Amino acid sequence: MRYLLPHPDAVADLSDLDVALYDGTQPIPENVDDVELYAVPYGIIDPRLCEPITRMPRLSVVQTVTAGYDHVRPFLRPGLILANGRGVHDAATAELAVALTLAARRRLPDFVRAGDEGRWDSGWSRGLADARILIVGYGSIGAAIERRLAGFEVEVSRVARTARPGVRPISEIANMLPHADVVILSTPLTPETVGLVNAEFLARMADGALLVNVSRGRVVDTEALLAELERGRLHAALDVTEPEPLPAGHPLWYAPNVLISPHVGGLTAALSSRARRLLVDQVRRHAAGEPLANVVVGP
């Protein structure tokens, strides 16, 4: 086989090529010596799904369906091309970023908990209209978040590793943090972004500000965030945590002013069809000798 993919519909669409299915739930095919493109199965990040890379001597391309690819890097050898799932999760992750922001700013967790106890517990909330939103990491997901915020009458600022019109460099973030009511993290996990949100970062955020993380848990220093939450100074809405999965009994579960979802940013009905289109397109490009999309490592 030349192509090993995790999506049965994509395999069916490519039946004219030498394609096989491996989605991580069944044993990997015994002979992977001829695999040239391997798409890592989607799901809980598990090194066992990346390990086959080391046993494919003719492999030239590793494809992820995830936007993040930090879990694959340790298995790459020189000369391999790595392409990610840019675009597959933009809509779903942006939806969740806005949902978490709205839920936290409108105190929905408080109202749900009161309702579970049969209490009518009304009260004011900050809301979203007129809020100043800072998006940290302005790639395709960051842009998708802004598009979905467009109708909420907010003011959006943007920072990214590379400055461009309308997007300021990450080096200027310290001066921007005190003016943001909501900081949304959509940056990839890289050596530069590990621990980006540390005690100093959080201290510069305005009193009462909300931190929303739909990127990776390791972007945030959990202990530093816990200190701010327990002081009652900041709020947080987190789809990702460090550690992850967050173990039972971890103090982050019990911290005040925090809303946690279990890394479900991309898990909607839109995933399957978009992953299928990406995989089919990439394999067709590879078979035709055309440039691949979404290359993040390699020539």
- Catalytic residue list: 216, 244, 263
Residue 122 to residue 115: CA distance in whole angstroms: 11
- 247's CB contacts (< 8 A; 6+ apart) are none
DSSP-assigned letters across all residues of 39-71: EEPPSS--HHHHGGGGG-TT--EEEESSS--TT
Strands 132-136 and 182-185: parallel
Question: What token pair was written down for 1?
Answer: 């086989």
Q: Could you give the 3-state DSSP secondary structure of residue 234?
A: coil
The residue with tokens 């009304």 is 122
Query: What is the C-alpha to C-alpha distance for residues 41 and 23, in angstroms, rounded to an integer?
Result: 5
Cα 39 to chain centroid distance, Å, stands at 18
CA dist 83 and 93 (Å) reads 19
Contacts of 52 (CB under 8 A, 6+ apart): 4, 22, 28, 32, 38
